[in-house]
Structure 1
Amino acid sequence: MAGTRTFHSKVGWVYWGVIAIFAAFLFFGFWDRSWVAILVCVAFEVWLIDEMVHTRYVITEEGFLVIESGRFFKPVAIEILQIAEVKKSKSLISSPALSTDRLKIVYRKKSFKSSVLVSPKSKEEFVRCLLKRNGEIQTDVLT
C-alpha cells in the first residue's frame, strides 16, 4: 500500500481579496486609532492566514482522507472505501476549500450520502491517489 500523501489547498483570488480587504480595514483602524476595529481585523486576519497555511488534505496509509482546515477546526476523516464520486465543482458553499476551483467528494456516511468540497493544488494527482486506494470511485477529473 502507498504511503501517506499530503495535498495543500489551492488559494484562489477571492480568498486573497478577503485578506486584502481586512488588511485595508486594519490600516484604516490604525489611522483612526479605532482599537475595536483593530482587534476585530487582527482576529479575522489571524484566522484567515491560519486557514491558508493549515488547510490540507491527507491521504493516510490506513485508508482515510483527513481534511484539515486550520487549527481552529477539528479535522474530518473520511474512509476512502466509502467515497463514491469525485467531480469538478465551482460551488461557493462554505467548505474547507480556499479556491473556487473545487472538487466535490460524495461519500457514504452510515446509511446516507454526504459530500464535502476541497480544492487541492494538484487535483489530478489527488484523484489518482484516491483511485489507487478505491478504484470504484466515479470521477470526471481525469477525462
Structure 2
Amino acid sequence: MAQSRAFFTSRVDAWLFAIGPIAGLAAASVALPLALQSHAGLDVAVAAAVVLLTLLLPLWLLLDTNYTMTEDELRVRSGPFRWRIALGDVREVSPSRSWISSPALSLDRLRIRYGAGRSILVSPREKQRFVDSLRQRCPAVLVTGF
C-alpha cells in the first residue's frame, strides 16, 4: 500500500522572534559606523550586505523550517539548509531539550538517530502525529521517552 507524504511545520518558541531583530541591530550598530567612517563604497556595500544577511537568514529560517516524510525518506528543510534521511536508516526517536544547533525552532525537540552514529534534532508542531507517521513508515524504529 502506497503511503502519501506527511508534511509537518516546525514548532516555534516565542523567544526566537526576538533574535532576528536583535542580531540585525547588533550587526548594524557595528558594521555601518565602521563602513561610513571609511568613505569607501565597497566597505559600505559589504556592511549593508552583512546587515541584510543578518536580518534575512533568521527570517528565512522562521518561515521555511519544515519536515516531510515520503514513503522512503525524511526530508528536513530549514531556510537554505536541506537534509535527506533514508527511513531505512532511522534507528531511534526520543524527546530532547538540547540547545545544539539544529533545524528545530523550539526546544521541545525530537532527536532522530540514524545511520552510523548520526542524529538530527527536529521540532514538529504536531509531535505525536510526526512520531506516529514515523512508526508507520519505520515499524522497527525504537521510540523512547514517550
TM interval, shorter chain, is 0.7 to 0.9
Which one of 54, 63, 76 corresponds to residue 67 of structure 1? Answer: 76
* SS of equivalent residue, structure 2 residue 102: coil
* SS of equivalent residue, structure 1 residue 16: helix
Contact kept, 8 Å, 1:9 with 1:97, in 2: the verdict is: yes
Structure 1: distance between partners of 2:128 and 2:98: 19
Structure 1: distance between partners of 2:48 and 2:144: 45
Report what 1:14 is aligned to.
15
2:61 pairs with 1:46: no
TM-score by structure 1 length?
Answer: 0.81
**Alpha-carbon distance, 1:64 to partner:** 0.3
Percent of residue pairs identical: 31
Structure 1: distance between partners of 2:28 and 2:51: 9
CA offsets, 1:45-83, max 9 Å, x none? Answer: 11111111111111013x10011111x22x211111211
Counterpart amino acid of residue 134 in structure 1 = C
**Alpha-carbon distance, 1:113 to partner:** 2.0
CA offsets, 1:83-113, max 9 Å, x none? Answer: 11100001111111111111100012xxx22
* SS of equivalent residue, structure 1 residue 115: strand
Change (3 A) 1:28 1:113: closer
TM-score by structure 2 length?
Answer: 0.79
> For structure 2, which runs of at least 5 residues remain unmatched after alignment?
37-43
Flag the structure with larger Rg: 2
> For structure 1, which runs of at least 5 residues remain unmatched after alignment?
none
Counterpart amino acid of residue 77 in structure 2 = E
Structure 1: distance between partners of 2:105 and 2:68: 16
- Bigger mean CA offset, 11-20 vs 126-135: 11-20
- RMSD, aligned CA: 2.4
Counterpart amino acid of residue 66 in structure 1 = R
* SS of equivalent residue, structure 1 residue 13: coil
**Alpha-carbon distance, 1:23 to partner:** 5.0
Contact kept, 8 Å, 2:28 with 2:51, in 1: the verdict is: no
